[in-house]
Structure 1
């Protein structure tokens, strides 16, 4: 790959982000349409209501082609939430996910948050391994039926 950059999310990125979430999660996880509805709602809310000083999204791209995303949003005054962390399969295994995660966490620290949290699924093994290797702690793990499939939902946190 050529030069990879991580740039700020723009509203024009939303259709791509919704489509890639829909495609990858239906293909790889068997998720139904309720998942893409949730992704669209998260993005619509971010575009309409986010606080630019305390919340931000990023797009990783190479030569203008988007490769992934990550978002930092407020959960409370002191706690940020990591959302919509995604890398295309061809962009995995190069350290880009760690770079994106570190950028997001650095922003959260700079915005005054003292903790970050995230919600994911056990099936996202590479992401969970990344969280564990960068100091995140697994808080909770439980079986659920979401998005039309049986999953093990996980909650993680880190002190910033």
Structure 2
């Protein structure tokens, strides 16, 4: 492979990754998307916890049409974000809505009281009754902090 071909391939891969971050992915086979976690503060047992910038919430779906065979969501932190004390009292929920954005199903995760730098949750296979959106939501101390969604289309 020539250097020019390698450079074109690398540029195409970088562009595809950038586009994946900008628009909800279509869940024809596999959809992967990440959303930055905005910096925020919250209280745990009278102690102020700070989540700095540098973390991404990533949501992955595999399947086809309305059949989801695998679903996962979690947080990855780098740079300054990796230095935080973790996410305490966290929960990850998965929601499903139709094309009119009416939510018809929620898979509520368990609230984890421990502090974790990389909270993650898998969700079981789903056979959705209609097309629309599948979303993952990160809740900290009962407050939704970030969401990431994929369109489920024909």
**TM-score, normalised relative to structure 1:** 0.30
Higher relative contact order (CA 8 A, sep 6+): 2
More strand by share: 2
Is the radius of gyration larger for structure 1 or structure 2? 2
**TM-score, normalised relative to structure 2:** 0.31
More helix by share: 1
